[in-house]
Amino acid sequence: MDSNAVDFVSEGINFVGRTFDNNGIQGKIALQGFSPNEPYTITATVIGNYKYVKYQKEPYYCSQNINKLTPRRIFTTWNDKVAYFCATSIYKFVSQYDGQQGGYKLTDIKKHKIYLPMCKDKNIDFAFMENFIAELEAERLAELEAYLEAAGLKDTELTEAEEKAWQAVQDENMKWGEFKLGSLFTKLDLRSNLDKLDKKYDVSTVQNEEFSLPLVNAKDGNNGIMFYGRDADWDSAEMTIDIVANGAVATGNVYPQPHKTGVMWDAYLIKPNFLANAELLQFFSTTIYKTIKPKFSYEYKAVWNRVSQESILLPVTDSGEIDFAFMENFISAVQKQVVRGVAEYSERKMAAYREVVGTYA
């Protein structure tokens, strides 16, 4: 189905597109005149600058140029962990075509060989795969627990101001005002310092000591960061918002960039005309995204001279001024609610891990 020609609804069937976020699910659509794809299958995108492989656990429709991979009978065990193990191997194949709009042929992926662990009797070792993925999950969850502790995010109790903000958004009498983006933000002209010297620059796909500066581009996911560059090679700015101007899927994506960030191409940074912090960037990024994403596309670029004319709704005080304090408290409340959910999820997954390890020990 053409993702530009579907109507999204609040409740319905998952619609999987060529995107990284939310397991590839762009939204929900109504039941069509034909049945959706079966759940517990793998989706692999074919075209686009970046290719994604996802495991779908619910029925779904999908956009054009996506393959659905269904396990054959050789898989006597098929569950989340076995699927994730296979999906990682499949991703190694499709990612070979990253960086080009075109993709692979169906015959290419059919002929591609993946490697699976085997038992001594020459059968696939499903128990190993399940145990291996469970151990990886436990390792990541342990890292997450340590991060939450170190970052001081363990406290999920809302303050009085946060609770008030959390409840206020549900009040139909809450006051909102309309503001033009061009009056709130200024587009920055950031370039490579080496471009100015007519020299070639190097970048890295991995952040390290030498290549430490995040560089944004037409990226879908990973907060818009595509590469990392040397700090001395690029103009940069902090406390900005990143807007993707041109991309097959990413056009109109909006990301908060509180840290020092540079720009490659097909994206730009806008600087608030007010004193900003990370919480305010989160609030504005979400609001801007919901406003511009449906209006712009690969054919209709989200360039600043168009985006700057768009208006967004913001909470206001009784005097009509933008209520920055409310936005900060609301985002802080959202973060605490999310962290609380993550902590509960972590506890459930760790319990499941101990059960799996006990079963296959």
Select from 98, 95, 99 the least CA-distant residue to 109.
Answer: 95
CB 296 within 8 A of CB 306: yes
Domain range spanning residue 61? 3-116
Q: Are residues 230 and 356 in the same domain?
A: no
Q: Are residues 361 and 301 in the same domain?
A: no
Average pLDDT of 150-176? Answer: 83
Average pLDDT of 159-178? Answer: 87
Question: For 253, phi and psi rounded to 5 degrees?
Answer: -70, 145
> 2 - beta bridge partners?
none
pLDDT-above-70 percentage for the chain: 94
Q: Give the other-Cβ count within 10 Å of 339's Cβ.
A: 16
Antiparallel, parallel or unpaired: β 262-263 and 213-216: parallel
Q: Are residues 55 and 110 in the same domain?
A: yes
Q: Are residues 271 and 199 in the same domain?
A: yes
Q: Are residues 191 and 262 in the same domain?
A: yes
Q: Are residues 134 and 218 in the same domain?
A: no
Q: Are residues 85 and 58 in the same domain?
A: yes
Q: Are residues 202 and 97 in the same domain?
A: no
Q: Are residues 68 and 136 in the same domain?
A: no
Select from 84, 95, 78, 90 the least CA-distant residue to 38.
Answer: 78
Number of domains present in the structure of the chain: 3
102-106, 211-215, 339-343, range with the lowest pLDDT: 339-343
100-104, 278-282, 303-307, range with the lowest pLDDT: 100-104
CB 216 within 8 A of CB 267: yes
Q: Are residues 77 and 110 in the same domain?
A: yes
pTM: 0.66
pLDDT of residue 361: 47
Does 221 have pLDDT greater than 90?
no
Q: Where are the alpha helices (DSSP H) in the chain?
A: 80-94, 106-111, 126-150, 160-168, 181-184, 193-196, 278-292, 304-307, 324-360
> 29 - beta bridge partners?
8, 13
122: left (phi over 0), alpha (psi -120 to 50) or beta: left
Q: Are residues 102 and 149 in the same domain?
A: no
Select from 332, 241, 242, 340 the least CA-distant residue to 279.
Answer: 332
Q: Which pLDDT band, with edges at 50, 70 and 90, does 199 fall under?
A: low
> 285 - beta bridge partners?
none
26-30, 139-143, 227-231, range with the lowest pLDDT: 139-143
Q: Are residues 64 and 128 in the same domain?
A: no
Antiparallel, parallel or unpaired: β 53-56 and 41-45: antiparallel
* Cα–Cα distance measured from residue 85 to residue 265, given in angstroms and rounded to the nearest whole number: 35
Antiparallel, parallel or unpaired: β 53-56 and 254-257: unpaired
CATH of the domain at 49: 3.90.220.20
Q: Which residue has the tokens 């370039």?
A: 191
pLDDT of residue 52: 92
* Cα–Cα distance measured from residue 221 to residue 203, given in angstroms and rounded to the nearest whole number: 19
DSSP label at residue 358:
H
